[in-house]
């Protein structure tokens, strides 16, 4: 006779489901790690939107944000690196101004 498992918190089940549902792509990995790497203020103004050949394009709410983050690109890459899986080759970041509100 098998024992019935005790119920577990709903948040734990949802967290596991979300981890399994996330696509295994560089863009998805950067999108997940982005708020922790850049902080809340920058994450509100930016969003990683596309990836091509290891370079992730980040849409910014204004040209001023895009220019400032372009200057900080190497520092952001250094913060993102440890957050990404070893098999995820992030080569660079490209910052653009978004025509759509973020």
Beta-sheet strands, E only, within the chain: 46-52, 55-60, 92-97
pLDDT at 101: 58
pLDDT at 51: 94
Express each pLDDT in 60-88 by its tens digit: 999 999 999 999 999 999 999 888 876 77
Q: Is the pLDDT of residue 102 over 90?
A: no
Cα angle 71, 86, 16; round to 5 = 105
Express each pLDDT in 28-57 by its tens digit: 999 999 999 999 999 999 999 999 999 999
Task: Report all structural domains of the chain as residue ranges with CATH numbers, in order of start.
Answer: 24-97 (3.30.300)
């Amino acid at each position: 006779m098998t024992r019935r498992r005790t119920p577990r918190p709903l948040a734990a089940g949802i967290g596991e489901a979300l981890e399994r549902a996330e696509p295994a792509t560089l863009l998805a990995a950067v999108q997940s790690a982005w708020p922790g790497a850049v902080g809340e203020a920058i994450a509100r103004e930016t969003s990683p939107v596309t990836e091509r050949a290891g370079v992730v394009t980040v849409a910014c709410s204004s040209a001023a944000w895009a220019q400032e983050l372009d200057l900080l690109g190497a520092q952001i890459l250094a913060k993102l690196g440890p957050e990404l899986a070893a098999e995820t080759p992030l080569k660079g970041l490209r910052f653009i101004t978004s025509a759509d509100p973020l």
